[in-house]
Amino acid sequence: MSELPPEETTAAPAPPPDPFEDWQRLDPKAVIASTALVLAPMFPIVAIMAVSDENSGRTLATVGVMLGVVVLTLVGSWLNWYFTRFRVTAERFELREGNISRSFRSIPRERVRSVDLTAPVVHRLLGISVVKIGTGQKAGNDELKLDAISTARAEELRRLLLRPRAGTTSEGVPPPVTGSGEETGTEELARIRPVWYLYSTLTASLLLFTWAAVGSALSTLSDVFRTLWAADTATDWLSDTAASVWAHVPLWAVVVAAVVTVLLGGLLGALAFSLEMWWGFRLTREGDATLRVRRGLLTTRAVSLERRRLRGVELAEPMLLRLAGGSRLTAVATGLEHGETSGRSDNKVLLPPAPRGVAGRIGALVLDRSGTLEDGTPLRVHPRVALRRRLSRVLLPAMLLAAALAVAAHQSGAVPWWSWLVPLGAALPASVLAWDAYRNLGHGHRDEYLVTRYGTGVKRTVLLQREGIIGWRISQSPLQRLTGLLTVSATTAAGNGYYSVRDAGTEQGLSFAESCVPGLLSPFLEKNSDFTSESGDSPDGTSHERTTKRTDHP
């Protein structure tokens, strides 16, 4: 009787080794990139000195100093590359760096909030990227920077660090770490349209930045002319040209031409900046875990955000953009600090300036809501006394200033008699802005989100997840107490840290806070006997009781 063959066993394939488990070096081309960034601005300076009448000895000394700087930069970059190591273990990301002063940083992978990839022009030519790992801490240096590793490995590292820390998918299988390229399950939510570049030009910040850049460029050209001993010639030519134009063209035409030049130049400059910032913009959703924004013409940027960190969105409408029917969309998320504190105002952008309907629809997609952000119960209006408060802010100072100027003009001839008309004339547009600020006030609930709207120069509409509210801050200025208004601020660990419902009625604001997060504010409130029986329905359909504030604020 023959023996049966041994039963074949099927062993599960071993998972691929983690490519970042051992200590890793940066890419050696990072040394070339750092040196090139220092070397590039030196070429124009040396060229100008070579063609000018500068003393040859001084030119050689300058070149020698520059070569010394380049050598020091090269050595410093090589030392930084040699002593920098990083690795990713099952639980932590670890980084060793420094040559004279060594440092070791180790953070739990659970605390990684975002992974950004940036590639300036030199880095792109060399095929490397800078990786910035954000931890969301607001104290100290919260960012770990790897400058630089190859773009393909940077993509692998990004996917590894943003992989859900449970370590498994819903089927219990660890998600794979693939190579470069698009990962399966990637859904495109938005892509730049050519007309959106025009919306980007309608932001005052870009217009101002354009003319600031033009002024800097003219200053540099002036230095170049001065170095080439051509300043006098250029000044004489400009003076003669201006004099001839002034003599043959009416004054009103010169003024109109100057205004058109300023506006057209600003728009063209803003369009150029817009192209550089938003070229190739794509917003994608990778599985259910990550939102990713990629953009940039010369310097490419890729910002990744874990969806579980997302607490809401903000629609911002600067005045010029609002008049054109546009809006831009940003994220309210933990780990993305406010731009003023982090120095990076663009790491939370979800959509560039675009038609408001598109921004509302994309915002709803990001929050997994149907329709647009505007769908749902209309926002509550604020008491009319809030309008009177805003009007008094602009009219009272204008009237006081006009009265003071009128008295000064009557008592002294140094002040023109018409000077008191200036503040009164400025009061009219200021009153329009005050009325617009009141009209934009609103608050309410939409699904599981708190909604607050405010602002006139920049109208903002914020949707904040009610589960993300960790407390309330109630504030009343002396004038608010006289007029029966208060400001209710929802504090949260995301975004700016708090989002306010401004100048709501006392009863209105407190009952809204209590109905928004039931039980959070109630221990600090006492029920008003006059209103206890007036139970009502909040805009989201939940019942609540009208309450009044105690003397001790929460």
From the list 364, 297, 288, 357, the residue with the least C-alpha distance to 327 is 357
Q: What proportion of the chain, given as a percentage, has pLDDT over 70? A: 75
Residue 529: its pLDDT value, please? 45
Residue that wins the pLDDT comparison between 40 and 465: 465
pLDDT in tens, 222-231: 666 665 555 5
With pLDDT > 90 as the criterion, what percentage of the chain qualifies?
30
pLDDT tier at 19, thresholds 50, 70, 90: confident
Residue 523: pLDDT over 50: yes
pLDDT digits (tens, 9 = 90+) for 147-169: 889 999 999 998 888 876 554 44
The pLDDT score that the predictor gives to residue 220 is 64
Residue with the larger pLDDT of the pair 357 and 536 = 357
When pLDDT is averaged across residues 437-457 and rounded to a whole number, the result is 92
What's the predicted TM-score (pTM) here?
A: 0.75
d(CA 548, CA 497): 26
236-286 per-position pLDDT tens digit: 666 677 667 666 777 777 778 877 877 787 788 888 888 888 999 999 988
Please check the confidence at residue 543 and state whether its pLDDT lies above 50.
Answer: no
**Mean pLDDT, residues 326-340 taken together:** 76
The pLDDT value recorded for residue 144 is: 86
In the beta sheet, which residues pair with residue 196? none
89-124 burial, b at 16+ Cβ within 10 Å, e below that, comes to: eeeebebebeeeeeeeeebebebbbbbbbbbbebbb
With bands split at pLDDT 50, 70 and 90, how would you rate the model's confidence at 550? very low
pLDDT at residue 38, rounded to an integer: 82
Cis-peptide, bond into residue 402, ω within 30° of zero = no
Instruction: Answer yes or no: is pLDDT of 11 > 90.
Output: no
pLDDT band at 455 (very low <50, low <70, confident <90, very high): very high
